[in-house]
Amino acid sequence: MAHKNLEEAIRAAKSPVKMLRDSQIGPYAFPVVPSEFTNWRDEQRSWRETCALFDQSHHMTDLLVEGPDALRVFASLGVNTFDNFRVDTAKQFVACNHDGYVIGDAILFHLAPNRFNLVGRPPALNWVQYHVATGGYDAKFERDERSFVNKGQRKSYRYQVQGPNAAKVMQAATGKPMPDIKFFQMSTVDVGGCKVRALRHGMVGQPGWELFGPWAEADTVRNALLEAGAKFGIQRVGARTYPTSTLESGWIPSPLPAVYTGKEMQPYREWLAGTSYEAMASLGGSFVAKNIEDYYLTPYELGYGVFVRFDHEFVGRKALEKLAKKPSRKKVTLAWNGDDVRRTLGTLFSAGRTVAKYIDLPLANYATLPFDKIVKGGKTIGLSTYTGYSFNERSMLSLAVIDEKHAKPGTKVTLLWGEEGGGTSKPTVERHKQIKIRATVGPVPYGDTARTAYRPK
Amino acid sequence: MAAPKNFEEVLKRAKNPVDMLRNSQIGAYVYPVVPSEFSNWRSEQAAWRNTAVLFDQSHHMVDIYIEGPDALKLLSKLAINSFNNFPVNRAKQFVPCSYSGHVIGDGILFHLEQNKLVFVGRAPTANWIQFHAETGKYKVKIKKDDRSPGNPKGKAVNRISYRFQIQGPNAWKVIEKLNGGPVPEIKFFFMGTIKIGKKKVRALRHGMAGAPGLEVWGPYKDREEIRDAIVAAGEEFGLKQVGSRAYATNTLESGWIPSPLPAVYTDERMKKYRKWLPANSYEATGGLAGSFVSNNIEDYYVTPYEIGYGPFVKFDHDFIGREALEKIANKPHRQKVTFAWNSDDVDKIFASMFQPGQHYKYIDLPLSNYASASFDKITLKGKTVGASMFAGYSYNERSMLSLGIVDPDIKIGTEVTLVWGEENGGTKKVTVEPHKQLEVRAIVSPVPYSKVARETYAEGWRTTGKA
């Protein structure tokens, strides 16, 4: 049953950890897009070998913020600098709570003077919307829910063209070479007779573009891209494959929003609906702490240290100034031991025995917020937060945050897979036993190509 | 070159229908619209064995309504089944054959009202019925309600009817709770009505997963109201909704083969039909997958005897294929069996995903088919002795299972070899990544496989053919 607001939901559940770990909502949804266009192995190969077309029109929420104070709202909440944030540029906006823990991150597009669009999972957007709605700013917002929530149509389509042939595909689709713009800058191009805004991107380690425009033109633009891309091996990527691309590029999509505790955050919790992402999200995995704050992560731990700029006032600044001087856990990629993964899947084929938690391929998350324990020498040394299989690397990979002294590539660690006591009551969890999986620490991004060519600026 | 006008033209251009189907670009056979998982496919499979399930069959099958004074005459002419004693409120598993006595398809035929019937199943049978209704001299009208699109692109989906099944050991308790009291005995494949919420709905007595259950249907607009009522009533009995990933695997335990290759690609007598069939029909666009390769498409055809429909064949009426079937009726037939795959060999296939180099064809769990029709070679001592035609994983049996056929002399319990994957790195089907083949050991096992189904499903049509 839904509560009036997040604060009430937490009170009723007594513990936010328990509330989230027993959530009945399932993993984060990638709706509408078919699960596979060809097969997920070939779809994964396309972003490494030819060109992938991602359809991102459905799984993210858009928050349009407009008005003379719009930039001021973002600057008051973002760890990022807003100096020189011109129209036709974008940035990865990261918002923290007062204690310097990450609430969420999303892509912020500067569309026109005083007009911004924030696109991503709901937590960062909710936090911004709350401030626009209650902060007395001269700005208004318009929210376009992701398709999981929005039963109607989206306002925009959003595609990405990625992979070694992406530039050739874009040239064929627009009839000329793409404008030579820097990472996270935008231009306007013509595709299939439609005006398309293009953000220079590079999600999977190669030059690529994110393209967006009005929903009514979604089919025309997609068909033009597919036609232009056919001879360059463009491959549509289905919903099963899409969310695994980040395993190779290293972005962690699912930090737990740091909103469940703290007196200062209470008015926000009372404002957040009982049906919000924060109230409904499911928390899964072997890492269990009584204190929800043990799940919070800092921008430094998530690899956003380079974004933190003390050139402006923002929520969390004071706390981050202190943290900036301390050692921090580091984001790494874990490559799982193949024999152990095989042993885990193998439990499915032995009659009468308890199975290990099923590893779904290629995306193995079974909660909105996956948190598995990483141990070494009997001690918990970190958290693994996003898990799946990469056909390109022929390996299970997970994105993790671990103690600095164990973060060196090549370090051997152990990940505990599955939940305690046969599993929580989440519907995605069948009764199972926990199993230890050996893993090797690797860099972020993991892919060879990504390691050498991915240069966010 | 102009686009082909019909299926016959598609075939002519393709030269060999086997190559055409084996390299189809259509992708996997989709079970559309229904969410892939409601909880998780392991728990959903376990529920039909241990508690109760709701199958949503509203989307993946074609419905064709046949109405008019000649409706039964037409259907009887196409079916191996007897139409004696087939009054209103009965259903049967309707099986049409080609002139050569090979199966075109099968599905469920409901006798809804006097002179009004509906066939529900895959496209080949519905197409065959439609062809004869439109081109024969029958006083019938037809209305075809195609299956839901595989990719609705966010647009609304509309069908004439919703179709749900309530199945599993607790199904009857759920049904009686919905009905507000005992449900009068309905015999297997007889139809009656029950109460769901404020509605009186029609119901077919079924038993798909080894225990009595019902299939219910009604106007599509009522579907959410009916679903909500079933889910609410089922809660205390552990009823789970089954998603599209688990749904199609239930047949691995009950033993129905959903995907025989329609025997329509050859034979002059079928030419008129092929010219009538559109160029984008299931028959023209479908995919054929697996290690069994023959240049002759007829080697993929099966007779009703081979896939367990021998008991349905009744020579009490005139029907297409009768002459051919009369000739083979008393001969030995290949037989339908379940193959239980060797776990170590399955393990080897998965292990190859975690090593560099060429891997084996990926086994998707729980449904492992990668085309609308599957044919994997079954060998014994190097000789081909059968084919595996529908593969997947059963959490209830903790085993990969597949349904198929073997030569008459192969005994239950025999260890055979199933060749998994396609030759030379694989065909051009979009569902096929480059891979190598593996010989998987498998035990020839009974149909239905599950112990529960074997022991409690005695009155079912799949074991006795009473329908």
Q: Are B299 and B454 in contact (CB under 8 A)?
A: no
Beta bridge partners of B373: B288
Half-sphere exposure of B344 (CA within 13 A, CB side): 1
Contact B351 A338 (CB under 8 A): yes
Is residue A422 pLDDT above 60, yes or no? Answer: yes
Dmax over CA atoms of chain A, in Å, equals 66
pLDDT digits (tens, 9 = 90+) for B240-296: 999 999 999 999 998 999 999 999 999 999 999 999 999 999 999 999 999 999 999
Is residue B73 pLDDT above 60, yes or no? Answer: yes
Confidence of residue B15 (pLDDT cuts 50, 70, 90): confident
Segment B351-360 shows an average pLDDT of 94
Residue among B261, B210, B206, B238 at smallest CA distance from B57: B206
Contact B43 A430 (CB under 8 A): yes
- Distance separating the N- and C-terminal Cα atoms of chain B: 49
Q: Are B372 and B356 in contact (CB under 8 A)?
A: no
pLDDT digits (tens, 9 = 90+) for B165-199: 999 999 999 999 999 999 988 899 999 999 999 99
pLDDT digits (tens, 9 = 90+) for A181-196: 899 999 999 999 999 9
Bridging pattern class, strands B239-242 and B52-56: parallel
Nearest Cβ partner of A342 from B354, B398, B399? Answer: B354
Nearest Cβ partner of B343 from A58, A341, A350? Answer: A350
Cα–Cα dist B60/B204, whole Å: 18
> Percent of chain B beyond pLDDT 70?
96
Q: Which residue has the higher pLDDT, B308 or B462?
A: B308
Segment B393-403 shows an average pLDDT of 95
Cα–Cα dist B290/B388, whole Å: 9
Q: Are B298 and B266 in contact (CB under 8 A)?
A: yes
Segment A92-112 shows an average pLDDT of 98
**What integer pLDDT is reported at residue B452 of this predicted model?**
55
pLDDT digits (tens, 9 = 90+) for A257-309: 999 999 999 999 999 999 999 999 999 999 999 999 999 999 999 999 999 99
pLDDT digits (tens, 9 = 90+) for A39-58: 999 999 999 999 999 999 99
Contact A39 B359 (CB under 8 A): no
**What integer pLDDT is reported at residue B150 of this predicted model?**
84
| Amino acid identity at B399 | S
**What integer pLDDT is reported at residue B210 of this predicted model?**
61
Beta bridge partners of A382: A374, A402
Packing angle, helices B223-234 and B171-179, rounded to 10: 120
Residue among A174, A192, A177, A206 at smallest CA distance from A51: A206
A385-419 exposure pattern, b = at least 16 Cβ within 10 A, e = fewer = bbbbbbbbbbbbbbbbbbbeebbeeebebbbbbbb
Contact B353 A389 (CB under 8 A): yes
Is residue B443 pLDDT above 70, yes or no? Answer: yes
Is residue A179 pLDDT above 60, yes or no? Answer: yes
Radius of gyration of chain A (CA): 21
**What integer pLDDT is reported at residue A453 of this predicted model?**
45
Is residue A88 pLDDT above 50, yes or no? Answer: yes
Nearest Cβ partner of A41 from B150, B365, B433? Answer: B433
Q: Which residue has the higher pLDDT, B207 or B405?
A: B405
**What integer pLDDT is reported at residue B402 of this predicted model?**
98
Cα–Cα dist B76/B65, whole Å: 15
CB under 8 Å to A11, separation ≥6 — which residues?
none
Half-sphere exposure of A100 (CA within 13 A, CB side): 18
Contact B431 A32 (CB under 8 A): no
Is residue A451 pLDDT above 60, yes or no? Answer: no
B14's tokens: 């393709």
**Chain B residues near any Cβ of chain A (below 8 Å):** 27-28, 30, 36-40, 42-43, 46, 150-151, 153-154, 343, 346-347, 350-351, 353-356, 359, 362, 365, 370, 393, 395, 397-400, 430-433
Name the residue in chain A with its Cα closest to that of B152. A32
Confidence of residue A147 (pLDDT cuts 50, 70, 90): confident
Name the residue in chain B with its Cα closest to that of A235. B430
Cβ contacts of A349 on chain B, cutoff 8 Å: 343, 346-347, 398-400
Q: Does residue A361 sit at the B interface (CB-CB below 8 Å)?
A: yes
Strands of B395-437 (E only): list them.
Answer: 399-406, 415-420
* Mean pLDDT (chain B, rounded): 94
Is residue A456 pLDDT above 50, yes or no? Answer: no
> Percent of chain B beyond pLDDT 90?
90
Nearest Cβ partner of A32 from B154, B346, B400? Answer: B154
The order of strands in the sheet holding B116-121 is B91-94, B107-113, B116-121, B62-67, B141-145
**What integer pLDDT is reported at residue A72 of this predicted model?**
98
- Please tell me whether the peptide bond between B366 and the residue prior to it is cis, using omega within 30 degrees of 0: yes
Name the residue in chain A with its Cα closest to that of B370. A39
